[in-house]
Homo-oligomer: A and B are copies of this chain.
Amino acid sequence: MIRMKDTTARTTRRTDALSKDRIIAAAIRILDREGERGLTFRALAADLATGAGAIYWHVANKNELLAEATNAVITPLLDNLPPHHDAREDLRAIALGLFDAAHAHPWLGSQVLHASWQLSVMLLFEAIGSKLTQLGVPREARFNVASALVGYIAGKLGQETANMRNSPAGMTRETFLAMAADQWKALDPEEFPFVHEIADQLRDHDDREQFLAGLDLMLTGIAHMA
């Protein structure tokens, strides 16, 4: 590694000094490129041009690193939501924002699942809950309804993340789904009538549309609560 003579010490604060924020930014970069398996303390240290152990001075362990990376993606996303019009539309925007983020960051889904009562999920509860109030959901029901929406969103994000990770060895989503559809189609229609019926739709469905359809189902439920 080339190390230039340090003639630029104009400020006391070295621009390349390690910090929690720089570590998290590098972690996200690696996660996005290589996935969760690619994020290694060694790889991270190499990227930051430091030793593996140095990272532990700023971050307790890998779990905290992943939790912070999740917060770093979710916090600005929920802070920069477009100004509100209709509460239903706002809920759709929140959900779709997260869904699209899970695509840009193919590790986010499994983290949101594991975050249950942590910062990022708390922010999600707050964002959703305020809209529920606007929708007129009665106070006693709000926690359950918000938890249902969070559970649904987390589940779908988790499935998306799993889908992106699982496609075995450079197989496209299309060929992978086609294989699954063929298997479903090959099942006995007497024993598995529904799966058989659905196989063709599986082949070329849009995950994003399906995600939104499920969300709308829940919004319909909210509109007709007892």
Residues of B within 8 A of A117 (CB): 177, 180, 202
In-complex Cβ contact of A143 among B139, B159, B180, B205 (8 A): B205
Q: Please report the C-alpha to C-alpha distance between residue A225 and residue B224 in the assembled complex, in whole angstroms.
A: 10
**Interface of chain A residues 197 through 220 with chain B (CB within 8 A):** 197-198, 201-202, 205, 210-211, 213-214, 217-220
A-B contact pairs, 14 of them (CB 8 A): A110-B113, A113-B162, A116-B163, A116-B166, A125-B194, A129-B198, A143-B202, A145-B214, A151-B159, A155-B158, A220-B220, A220-B225, A220-B226, A221-B221
Number of interface residues of A (CB under 8 A): 60
Q: Please report the C-alpha to C-alpha distance between residue A166 and residue B146 in the assembled complex, in whole angstroms.
A: 22
Residues of B within 8 A of A153 (CB): 155
**Measuring CB to CB, which residues of chain A are less than 8 angstroms from any residue of chain B?**
110, 113-117, 122, 125-126, 128-130, 132-133, 139, 141-148, 151-156, 158-159, 162-163, 166, 177, 180, 184, 192-195, 197-198, 201-202, 205, 210-211, 213-214, 217-226
B152–A213 contact, CB under 8 A?
Answer: no
Residues of B within 8 A of A151 (CB): 152, 155-156, 159, 211, 214
Residues of B within 8 A of A128 (CB): 194
